[in-house]
Amino acid sequence: MTDKSGKLHQIDGLSRRSVLQGATALGAAALVTPFGSRRAAAEPKKGGTLRVAMAHGNTSDNYDPGVWENAFSQTFATARHGYLTEVAADGQLIGELAESWDISDDASVWTFKIRQGVQFHSGKALTADDVVASFNFHRGEKSTSAAKPFVDPITDIKADGNSVAITLKGGNADFAFIVSDYHLPIMASADGKIDPTSKDGCGGYMVKIYEPGVRASLERNPNYWKSDRAHFDGIEMLTILDPAARQSALRTGDVDVIDQIDLKTVHLFKRVAGVKVLSTTGTQHYTFAMDTRKAPFNDNNVRLALKHAIDRQELVDKILFGYGEVGNDHPISKSNRFHADLEQTSYDPDKAKHYLKQAGLDSLDVSLSAADAAYGGAVDAALLYSQKAAAAGIKLNVVREPNDGYWSDVWMKKPWSAVYWGGRPTEDWMFTTAYASGASWNDTFWENERFNKLLVEARSELDEAKRSEMYGEMQEIVRTDGGVVVPMFASYVMGLTDKVMHPEVVGANWTLDGFRAIERWWFA
C-alpha cells in the first residue's frame, strides 16, 4: 500500500485488510506468502509415472490459453505452465512466478516482482517481458480470449527490470487472485508476443505427446525451480468420457487416478481393494443455462416458472447421493466470503403455473440438452427435472446429446443446456466470468443494468460491509432475474489407488487438488 508520499510498500503476511478486503478463497483468510510455506503430511518421494483418466477432453482442444474450457485442458495447463500467483490447497493465496507484490492504496496499481532463475522448457530465462506479452495476448478489441474480461480493466502494463507494473482503470481488491486464473499462464515471448500454439512452458512437466481429446504424455522438467513439487518422473493423461470405463480402468490398475466417480456406484467403489475415494467440497456447481435472447427464455416469467419447477433436494439426493448441497439459482457458494442468506427458491408447481400465466401461457413445451460430458448424472438430472416440471404444465423434452463435442457444439449453441462450473475463489471472479455483460462465457447471454453497475462498484469497494451488501444484492438479482437454474453445488469426488499419496489438505477450488495434483501428489 502507499504512504502519504505515494510510495508503494510491499505486503507481507496477512495483507492490508486481507488484501483490501477482497482476497479470500473457500472461507480461508488470504495470505501473501513466499512459495513453499505449506508442508505435506508425509515427506514426498520422487519417481514413477502417474496415469490420470479424466471425464473431460475434446478433439477441438489445443494449446491456446484463451480457449481452455474443460478440466483436462486446465489440469494439462497447470502441469506445464507457471502463473503469477497460486491458490494454495487451504485457499490462501501464495506467490508462484511472482515472488511478491505491492499494491497502491486504492488497489488500482499492482506491481509484481518476478522470480529470478526460472527457465522455460526451451531453456529461455523467464523475464518481466514474458509477463507483459502473456497478458497482452488476451487484451485488445480483437481478442477472443475467455480471459478478456479480466484483462480489459488493464490500462497499462509495463516491465521495469524484474518487476511488472499493472495499472487498472479502477481498483480491484481481488486482482492478485485474478492473475492465478488458468487462462493466464506466463509463456515465453519473442518480439513482445507469445506463440499461443507453443507447448513450451516453465512448469513442472514438459510435453512429449499431445493428442487432443485422447491423451497427453509429459516428463518431469529437470530444471524446475520448485524443489518440493513435481515428484513423478512422468505423467500420462487420458480422456475417458464414459464413467464406467473410467472406473474400470482404476479398478484394474490401468490408471492411478480418476476424476468424477459415478456417484450412483460410489458406495460400491469404496469397497474395492486398493482403491480410495477422495471428496472435497467448494464452489463447484451444476446449472441449466437458458439463452435469454431467445423465446421463450427472453421472458423472465418463463425463467421464474422453470426455477419453481425443479426439486433441488431430489437432485442432491438422487444425482449427488448426498455429495453436495442445494443451490439457489446463483453461483456463489456457502464457502465464498460474501455468500448471502437469501430466501430459498423452492419446488412449487402452483407458483410455476402462476408465472406461466404472467407470461400469457397455459403450458410450456421446451427442450433441454444434456450429456454426461457436462457432469456425471446430467442426463438423469434433466429427466428428474422433466418429471417434476410436468406437474406445472411444463413439457420438458430432454435431448441426450453426444458426449464428444458437447462443449464445442452444444454449450452456448443450443438454447438450454446442462452445464458444469468449477466456480471461482471470489465473487467478482465468478460474476465477471459468466454473468457480466459481454463476457465470453456468459452462457445465458444475460444483461442486467443494475447487476453490471454493482459489479463494477463492488470490485473497487474497500469497505467490507458495503461490499457484502453489494454482492448480496447481485446474488438476489441473478436468483430472480438471471437465465440460469442452479439446482446444486457438488463435491469433487475422485478415485485413487492406495499407492497415490497427497498432502493432508487438498484443494477444493477445482477438481484434482485445484488442478495441481500432478505437481503436488506422489507415490508411496
> Residue 465 is placed in which grid cell?
460491509
pLDDT of residue 31 exceeding 70: no
Residue indicated by cell numbers 524443489 = 227
Give the C-alpha separation, 270 to 74, whole Å: 27
DSSP 248-263: HHHHTTS-SEESS--T
CATH for 184: 3.90.76.10
Answer whether residue 6 shows pLDDT above 50: no
Cell reading at 277? 475415494
- Distance between CA 23 and CA 29 in Å, rounded? 7
What one-character DSSP code corresponds to residue 170?
S
State how many domains the chain has: 3
Domain identity same for 242 and 186: no
Distance CA 521, CA 503 (A): 7
Q: What is the CATH number of the domain that holds 510?
A: 3.40.190.10
Are the CB atoms for 239 and 72 separated by under 8 Å?
yes
Q: Which domain holds residue 449?
A: 285-490
Q: Are 427 and 472 in contact (CB under 8 A)?
A: no
For the record, the C-alpha cell of 384 comes out as 428428474
Domain assignment present for residue 371? The answer is yes
Quote the CA–CA distance of 86 and 115 in Å, as a whole number: 14
DSSP 8-state secondary structure symbol assigned to residue 33 = B
What number is the average pLDDT over the span 445-460?
Answer: 95
Q: Read off the pLDDT of residues 471-492 as tens digits, 9 standing for 90 and up.
A: 999 999 999 999 999 999 999 9
Torsion of CA 92, 97, 100, 103, to 10 degrees: -90
Instruction: Examine the domain organization and report whether 416 and 321 are in the same domain.
Output: yes
Residues 131-135, mean pLDDT to the nearest whole number: 98
Mean pLDDT of all residues in 183-211: 98
Supply the pLDDT for residue 460.
Answer: 85
The pLDDT score that the predictor gives to residue 22 is 31
* pLDDT of amino acid 8: 34
Residues 482 and 516 in one domain: no
Single out the residue in 176, 197, 218 at which a domain terminates: 197
pLDDT in tens, 292-315: 999 999 999 999 999 999 999 999
pLDDT score for 282: 86
Same domain membership, residue 510 and residue 376: no
Is residue 354 assigned to a domain? yes
Regarding whether 177 and 314 lie in a shared domain, the answer is no
Range with the poorest average pLDDT among 226-230, 312-316, 405-409, 459-463: 459-463
> Would you state the cell numbers that stand for residue 103, as one nine-digit string?
499494491
Whether the bond between 44 and the residue before it is cis, its omega within 30 degrees of 0, is no
The C-alpha atoms of residue 112 and residue 116 are separated, in whole angstroms, by: 12
Residue 453, Cβ neighbours under 10 Å: how many? Answer: 12
Instruction: Spell 253-286 as b/e; 16+ CB within 10 A means b.
Output: eebbbbbbbbbeebeebeeeeebeebebbbbbbb
What whole-number distance in Å separates Cα of residue 164 and Cα of residue 329? Answer: 39
Domain match, 222 and 88 both? no
| pLDDT recorded at residue 41 | 52
Residue 167 lies in a domain: yes
Least trusted range by pLDDT, from 209-218, 335-344, 446-455? 335-344
Interval 61-96: pLDDT, tens: 999 999 999 999 999 999 999 999 999 998 889 999
Residue 124 lies inside a defined structural domain of this protein: yes
- Output the average pLDDT for the chain: 91
State how far the alpha carbon of 515 is from the alpha carbons of 81, 94, 273, 302, 492, in Å: 12, 15, 26, 37, 12
Answer yes or no: do 188 and 225 share one domain.
no
pLDDT at 1: 34
> What is the distance between the alpha carbons of residues 106 and 460, in angstroms, rounded to a whole number?
8
**Is 11 a residue whose pLDDT tops 50?**
no
Cα separation, 245 vs 261, in Å, equals: 11
Residues 327 and 423: their CA atoms lie apart, in Å, by 13
Average pLDDT of 277-305? 96
> Among candidates 513, 487, 491, which has minimal Cα distance to 502?
513
Within a domain: 26: yes
Both 345 and 433 in one domain: the answer is: yes
417 and 516 inside one domain: no
Q: Which position has the higher pLDDT, 250 or 31?
A: 250
379 and 508 both lie in a single domain: no
pLDDT at position 333 is 92
Q: Is the pLDDT of residue 164 over 50?
A: yes
pLDDT at 173: 87
Q: What is the CATH number of the domain that holds 366?
A: 3.10.105.10
Distance CA 89, CA 38 (A): 9
In a domain, 37, yes or no: no
Domain assignment present for residue 242? The answer is yes
- Looking at mean pLDDT, say which of 42-46, 94-98, 333-337 comes out highest: 94-98
Tell whether 389 and 268 lie within a shared domain: no
Provide the pLDDT for residue 302: 98
Last residue of a domain, one of 197, 215, 243: 197
Of 68-77, 330-339, 438-447, 485-494, where does mean pLDDT reach its minimum? Answer: 330-339
Q: Quick one: 193 and 211 in the same domain?
A: no
Domain boundary among 146, 174, 197: 197
User: Across residues 238-242, what is the average pLDDT?
Assistant: 96
The neighbouring-strand residues paired with 408 are: none
The answer to whether position 301 is within a domain reads: yes
**pLDDT per residue as tens digits for the range 254-269:** 999 999 998 888 988 8
pLDDT digits (tens, 9 = 90+) for 358-413: 999 999 999 999 998 999 899 999 999 999 999 999 999 999 999 999 999 999 99
